[in-house]
Amino acid sequence: MNPYMVFSQEQRAKIVKADPSRKADIGGVAKEIGALWRNLSEKEKASYKGKTRKAKTSKKAKASAPAKTRKTRKEGKRGLSPYMKFFKANYSRVAKANPGGVTVVAKEIGKLWAKQK
């Protein structure tokens, strides 16, 4: 995050708090913040550079913390739906009877599934 962004976040909060109806006026508030930034002295801008450094170091500290462990492939998967179990059980038989490709086989298995219900 750069110094302007830190300044912008602080000023946006102040402006919206002073006049809540301006919350939706993103462009107008941004223009006002830009004008405020241009009128700041170099000394005031330098204070925001310091805040930026602090934010970067805290972000790096969070990044260096141990990451959460990922789930293994089996932990993250749900079981097969009844239709998918039916599909797997009947695929080879229907594929031999209908050599038109996967879409033809899938349509036929869908028809068999519908007849069961």
From 42, 64, 86, the end of a domain falls on 64
Q: How many CA atoms lie within 13 A of 22 on its CB side?
A: 16
**106: containing domain:** 78-116
Q: Where are the beta strands (DSSP E) in 7-99?
A: none
Residue type, 60: K
Say yes or no: 27 and 58 in one domain.
yes
Report pLDDT digits (tens) over 63-75. Answer: 666 666 666 666 6
Report yes or no on 26 lying in a domain.
yes
Report yes or no on 71 lying in a domain.
no
The structural domain count of the chain equals 2
Report pLDDT digits (tens) over 45-95. Answer: 888 888 777 766 766 666 666 666 666 666 667 888 899 999 999 999 999
Say yes or no: 9 and 56 in one domain.
yes
Report yes or no on 21 lying in a domain.
yes
Report phi then psi at 31, rounded to 5.
-65, -40
Say yes or no: 51 and 88 in one domain.
no
User: What is the value of pTM for the model shown?
Assistant: 0.47
